[in-house]
Amino acid sequence: MQFSDQFLRAINRYFNGTASEAEKDMINKWYHSHDDATVNVDVNQADYEQILESRLKQRIKESIGIQPVKQRRLWPRIALAAAAVAAIVFGVFFFKAPGKPEPGSGATNYTNDIAPGKNTATLTLANGKTIVLSDVKTGVIVGVNKLTYNDNTVISTEGRDLSSLRSVEMTSLSTPRGGTYQITLPDGSRAWLNADTKISFPSQFIGKERKILIINGEVYFEVAKNKEKPFIVVADQQEVEVLGTHFNINAYKDEGSTKTTLLEGSVKVSLLSGKRSDEGTVILKPNQQSLVTGSQGIAVKEVDAAEAISWKNGKFSFEREEMSSIMRKVARWYNVDVVFQEPLQEVKLTGSISRFEKVSKLLEMLENTKEVRFKIEGHKVYVTK
């Protein structure tokens, strides 16, 4: 079942206590339409969690039994079922926050919790003028003579010269650590920026191609079709050419490789060094991912493309992923520094949780494997055994 970005954002704001009455009403009506019993979402959080937990237990009891727990899974089978039911009710995964640890129990004390990232980005015009975009909006639309948010609200540009929007001069959009944003490019193509990401693009696509640059970070694209004008993305040592398709590029400089994952259509991935020949060029099919690493050329493997864009859909999703990679994602989204106090970087874990949760819930989930433990001090997360 697919849920709209608007619905997921409403859920996020509800659990943050900032949902509007209209959003509460939308959630309430949707929930009631999928459940015979009624629960008003405006009850207090403690009562609501108690009711939900009771319902989850009852549904699980009716459908499955408790299965053995496999080592290094992030939760036993019964918890997976609970999360699945929660996904049906809410459209997102969530887990109960850790309770207060008993003295001497060894449980992690998350008194210094950290909120998840949010919608925040900066648009830099060709003339160097910057616009800090609203954190209560989700995306920006770049037009010929004006800038608007996704809800068609015109962005105030008082004192700023927008003449560069009518030219081919380069404009950039960047998100900080702990930030995400969506942009509709001048040709109608849409791009979602993950945390700590920067892209650069011409204010208008004039000429035979539509070319943008990923300076750093991760971007999911839905490209507007135009057979006469290929869409080209340059990231680090590679170039991706498409006519109209959906794909994701992970080009963080600290990842060691550039990953391009195709969801639909086809794309051509080329090494910049081999662009003038067939060497260093591959054509990706849906559910394939290319990896460009240093001078080792291009490798291609089969993947679950949905896993690659889980971040765009509001989830952390790990499939036998190394702790070093997991904690890089945590560092970017929660804007924290991660310190490994023991050599646990290569421990592999599997699981999923909402990106809208505070960091304590994610860390508790990882701790349930008995493979790692955490301590939060300020904006540093320490990893230990």
Burial of 158 (0-12, 13-18, 19+ CB in 10 A): exposed
Same domain for 304 and 329, yes or no, is: no
Among the three residues 287, 308, 329, which one is the final residue of a domain in this structure?
308
Residue 242 lies in a domain: yes
Same domain for 244 and 184, yes or no, is: yes
Residue 99 lies in a domain: no
Same domain for 304 and 325, yes or no, is: no
State which of 37-41, 65-69, 215-219 shows the largest mean pLDDT: 215-219
Residue 105 lies in a domain: no
Q: How far is CA 251 from CA 256, 258, 269, in A?
A: 9, 5, 14
Element (H, E) at 363: helix 359-367
What's the pLDDT score for residue 322?
Answer: 95
Residue 269 lies in a domain: yes
What's the pLDDT score for residue 160?
Answer: 63
Q: What is the CATH number of the domain that holds 335?
A: 3.55.50.30
Indicate if the pLDDT at residue 170 is higher than 70.
yes
Same domain for 187 and 326, yes or no, is: no
Burial of 84 (0-12, 13-18, 19+ CB in 10 A): middle
Same domain for 286 and 339, yes or no, is: no
Indicate if the pLDDT at residue 249 is higher than 50.
yes
Same domain for 304 and 212, yes or no, is: yes
Q: How far apart are CA 112 and CA 379, in angstroms?
A: 9
Same domain for 289 and 176, yes or no, is: yes
Residue 138 lies in a domain: yes
Q: What is the CATH number of the domain that holds 241?
A: 2.60.120.1440
Name residues whose C-beta falls within 8 Å of residue 28's C-beta, 6 or more positions apart in sequence. 40, 41, 42
Q: Please give the average per-residue pLDDT across 198-222, as a whole number.
A: 94
287 Rama class: left (phi>0) / alpha (psi -120 to 50) / beta:
left
What is the tally of structural domains in the chain?
3
39 Rama class: left (phi>0) / alpha (psi -120 to 50) / beta:
beta
What's the pLDDT score for residue 304?
Answer: 93
State which of 40-44, 143-147, 222-226 shows the largest mean pLDDT: 222-226
Condensed to tens digits (0 to 9), the pLDDT of residues 257-276 reads 999 999 999 999 999 875 54
Residue 101 lies in a domain: no
What's the pLDDT score for residue 77?
Answer: 39
What's the pLDDT score for residue 146?
Answer: 84
Same domain for 332 and 197, yes or no, is: no
Indicate if the pLDDT at residue 178 is higher than 90.
yes
Same domain for 144 and 240, yes or no, is: yes
Q: Which residue type does 194 have?
A: N
Q: How far is CA 21 from CA 14, 40, 42, 278, in A?
A: 10, 12, 9, 58
Same domain for 364 and 301, yes or no, is: no
Same domain for 56 and 137, yes or no, is: no
265 Rama class: left (phi>0) / alpha (psi -120 to 50) / beta:
left
Domain residue limits at 286 = 118-308
Residue 204 lies in a domain: yes
Same domain for 341 and 277, yes or no, is: no
User: Of 52-56, 131-135, 302-306, which range is least confident?
Assistant: 52-56
Condensed to tens digits (0 to 9), the pLDDT of residues 339-375 reads 999 999 999 988 889 999 999 999 999 998 889 999 9
Residue 164 lies in a domain: yes
Q: Please give the average per-residue pLDDT across 282-304, as a whole number.
A: 91
Condensed to tens digits (0 to 9), the pLDDT of residues 41-96 reads 444 444 544 555 454 334 333 433 333 333 344 443 334 444 444 443 433 333 33
Element (H, E) at 306: helix 305-308
Q: Which residue type does 260 have?
A: T
Among the three residues 90, 106, 139, which one is the final residue of a domain in this structure?
90
Crossing angle of helices 359-367 and 323-334, rounded to 10°: 170
Among the three residues 273, 308, 343, which one is the final residue of a domain in this structure?
308
Q: Please give the average per-residue pLDDT across 252-261, as a whole number.
A: 94
Under 8 Å between Cβ of 256 and 223? no
Indicate if the pLDDT at residue 286 is higher than 80.
yes
**Which two three-digit tokens encode residue 114?**
């950290």
